[in-house]
Chain A
Amino acid sequence: MIWNESIECASREEMRKIQSERLIDTVQRVYQSVPAYRRKMQEAGLVPGDIKSVDDLVKLPFTTKSDLRDNYPFGMFTVPMSEIVRIHASSGTTGKSTVVGYTRKDLRVWAEVVSRTLMMAGVHREDMVQIAYGYGLFTGGLGMHYGCENIGASVIPISGGNTEKQLQLMQDFGTTVLACTPSYSLFLAEEMEASGIKKEDLKLRVGIFGAEPWTENMRREIESKLGIKAIDIYGLSEIIGPGVSCECEFQAGMHVNEDHFIPEIIDPETLKPLPEGAVGELVFTTVTKEGIPLIRYRTRDLTRLNFEKCQCGRTLVRMEKCKGRSDDMLIIRGVNVFPSQIESVLLEMSETAPHYLLIVERENNLDILKVMVEVQEQFFSDEIKMLESLRKKITHKIQSTLGISVEVKLVEPRTIERTAGKAKRVIDNRKI
């Protein structure tokens, strides 16, 4: 079933018309209300009137995460705070969060796009959806939640973690749809095996997995272990959260809700638009958002677009699974982590030097982040308990900054490689 057929199956011309109208309106709004946008456009010699259709999108300046940081927390909001009804936040590059605000209308748009994605995934109102994404500042939980309610499905808002209870409710309530990170679904599958629960004992039918990159191999493994169809969903809080794009039952690329979020692919080096089908950095312009519209926001995700009509009947442009990043961001258990965040924690602490190495492993389908920190002369203590308490202090500070657990390992001085150029700060051993 298709939630909004007139949009999702619109012709290219119809779609371009909708996008053009909405883009013109959005540019007017941000120019008037957000000094940062006005300044950028003036620097580029642009006035809102120069944007006459979606073809003029390429003239507009880019927006990056650092723009959001520079205007922390609410400087990029287009409406007064009295119009904002919800705040979400994700990790920023240097410790400060990236903050987004939603008006009532934004929440309605969000529920609409998530409703579309649920239908793409084959979810309907008879389904029992267990939402094991985190609820809170992270957009995953609440974003899926309102979409599910909007289509009339039954929601189990269990949030992340508490694996035993997840499995219990899955059996007792007859969960048919699971929404979580792909790695957590594999972890659940292993826990099922360990506690003797067979996939036949469950009513699970569909999994909607996102918030981290995963491979086709992982998809096959999840599908066979849980006996479900595993659907990839994409989103980022800056754009709206989950529901930016999602696969349909044909699992042939994620349909972008492009009447709300216009995608472009650019060369991350030259910043020039790339021809159709080329792999490059994904850029989004939100054209209906009121709280914090973003113009040509650089996602740093690498992918490509396919404009062909899908077998499902939708004409919404499809994006491939993301192939990587054009920056050093890591996604650990669905949480965005920038090495610079860890560096700033270490710099703040007088006892440590900013020499560190991050090692990411996937053990039992869960991501483990190890932080190697050099023990410097000045904070080396002869007493183990002092070293242990230092290790705990570093662990605690990093954890409270990143919002995920880490393993801190103290290593000898000068054992972390120094390079003249860009230091190698990350070793990612996950096969993704």
Chain B
Amino acid sequence: MIAKQVSVFLENTSGRLNEVTNILGEAGINISAFSIADTSDFGVLRMIVPDPDKAVTVLKANGFSVQTTPVVLLTTPNQPGSLAKALKILSEEHIFIEYLYAFSMNEDSAVVVIRPSDIERCVGVLNHFFIQPEK
């Protein structure tokens, strides 16, 4: 399933991440998953939230540079080898991955967030191989 990921530009200064989570907490927005990509000077915070549009609105109102990016959410069994299987398929189909992060939903399943080079093809390929991309 394709989801709207919320990305925030952050300087590498203490307290900035805390500020973002505070703003979202006060707005009653739960963060399902997030990851941070960083360089020595700045970072990009990427999040999956139930209501991305609301998250964007409140963060922008607080002066953050925010963007939404389409990503693929893939549910896999929460067991060894599942991610490898999905990645193998993508690799064989020459779909490049810009970045990826994952979180486990429960004991049975995990969700992988993928930012592929070609999002439509990525979803198509995963559907074709009977792995059901999950919302």
A431 interface residue, CB < 8 Å from B? no
Interface 1/0 per residue, A395-414 and B, CB below 8 Å: 00000000000000111111
Interface of chain B residues 23 through 78 with chain A (CB within 8 A) = 37, 39, 41-42, 44, 46, 60, 63-67, 69
Q: Is the CB of B44 within 8 A of A382?
A: yes
Q: Which 6 A-B pairs have the closest CB atoms?
A: A382-B7, A380-B65, A382-B69, A384-B37, A414-B63, A380-B9
- A377→B66 CA distance, assembly (Å): 7
- On whether A412 and B44 interact (CB within 8 A), knowing A382-B7, A384-B37, the answer reads no
Contacting pair B63 A410 (CB below 8 A): no
Q: Which of A218-268 contact B (CB under 8 A)?
A: none
**B46 touching A412, Cβ below 8 Å:** no
Determine if A319 is an interface residue (Cβ-Cβ < 8 Å): no
Given contacts A382-B115, A411-B11, A412-B64, 16 further A-B contacts (CB under 8 A): A377-B60, A377-B65, A377-B66, A377-B67, A380-B67, A381-B67, A382-B69, A383-B98, A384-B39, A387-B9, A387-B39, A388-B39, A410-B41, A411-B42, A412-B9, A412-B16
B44 touches A387 (CB 8 A): yes
Any A CB within 8 A of the CB of B123? no
**CB-CB contacts below 8 Å: A341-382 with B:** 375-377, 380-382
Tell me the B residues contacting A by CB distance below 8 Å: 5, 7, 9-11, 16, 37, 39, 41-42, 44, 46, 60, 63-67, 69, 98-99, 115
Between A and B, 15 residue pairs with Cβ closer than 8 Å are: A375-B65, A376-B65, A377-B65, A380-B66, A382-B7, A382-B46, A382-B67, A383-B44, A383-B115, A384-B44, A388-B39, A411-B11, A412-B9, A412-B10, A412-B63
Is A42 among interface residues, defined by CB-CB distance under 8 A? no
Q: Does A415 contact B (CB under 8 A)?
A: yes
Which residues of B are found within 8 Å of A376, using beta-carbon distances?
Answer: 65
Distance, CA A413 to CA B66, complexed state (A): 10
Residue from A383, A409, A413 in contact with B41 in the complex, judged by beta carbons closer than 8 Å: A409
B119 to chain A, nearest CB (A): 13
A5 to B31, CA, bound (A): 82
The secondary-structure label for the interface of chain A is loop
Name, among B9, B63, B115, the residue most crowded by chain A CB atoms within 10 Å (CB to CB).
B9
* B37 contacts across to A, CB distance below 8 A: 384
Report Cα–Cα, A412/B7, bound state, in Å.
Answer: 13
List chain B residues, Cβ under 8 A from A382: 5, 7, 44, 46, 67, 69, 115
Nearest chain B CB to A322 CB, angstrom units:
34
Q: How many pairs of A and B residues are in contact by the CB < 8 Å rule?
A: 53
Q: Is the CB of B67 within 8 A of A412?
A: no
Q: How far is the CA of A413 from the CA of B59 in the complex (A)?
A: 12
Give the docked Cα–Cα distance between A410 and B46 (Å): 18
Q: Please, how many angstroms separate the alpha-carbon atoms of A78 and B9 in the complex?
A: 55
> In the docked arrangement, what's the CA distance between A412 and B45, Å?
13
- Nearest-neighbour CB distance to chain B for A352, whole angstroms, equals 13
Question: Could you say which residues of chain A place their CB within 8 Å of the CB of B44?
Answer: 382-384, 387
**How far is A411 from B16 in the complex, measured between Cα atoms in Å?**
12
1/0 contact string of A410-432 vs chain B (CB within 8 Å): 11111100000000000000000
Q: Quote the shortest CB–CB distance from A369 to chain B (angstroms).
A: 15
Provide the residues of chain A in CB contact with B7, threshold 8 Å: 380, 382
Residues of A within 8 A of B115 (CB): 382-383
Q: How far is the CB of B38 from chain A (nearest CB, A)?
A: 8
Chain B contacts for A387, CB-based, 8 A: 9, 39, 42, 44
Q: Give the complex CA separation of A377 and B59 in angstroms.
A: 12
List, in ascending order, chain A residues with CB within 8 A of B98's CB: 383
Rounded to whole Å, the gap between the CB of B113 and the closest CB of chain A is 12
Bitwise, A297-311 to B at CB < 8 A (1) or not (0) is 000000000000000
Nearest chain A residue, comparing its CB with the CB of B16: A412
Q: In the complex the two chains form, what is the Cα distance from A429 to B21 in whole Å?
A: 34
How far apart are B80's CB and chain A's nearest CB, in angstroms? 29
* Residues of chain B with a CB closer than 8 A to A377's CB: 60, 65-67
Closest-CB distance, A379 to chain B (whole angstroms): 9
A415-B67 in contact (CB<8A):
no
Q: Measured between alpha carbons, how far is A239 from B69 in the docked complex, in Å?
A: 57
Let me know if B69 and A415 touch, CB within 8 A: no
Residue interface mask A307-333, B partner, CB < 8 A = 1: 000000000000000000000000000
Which of A383, A410, A413, A414 sits near B42, CB closer than 8 Å?
A: A410
**Contact A415–B9 (Cβ < 8 Å):** no
CB distance from A392 to the nearest CB of B (A): 12
- Measured CB to CB, the nearest residue on chain B to A409 is B41
Are B46 and A413 neighbours in the complex by a CB distance under 8 Å? no
Contacts of A410 in B (CB 8 A): 9, 41-42
| Cα of A413 to Cα of B64 in the assembled complex, Å | 7
**Shortest CB distance A306–B (Å):** 48
Encoded as 1 (CB less than 8 Å from any B CB) or 0, chain A from 125 to 140 comes to 0000000000000000
A56 to chain B, nearest CB (A): 57
| Distance in angstroms between the alpha carbons of A119 and B87 in the assembled complex | 75
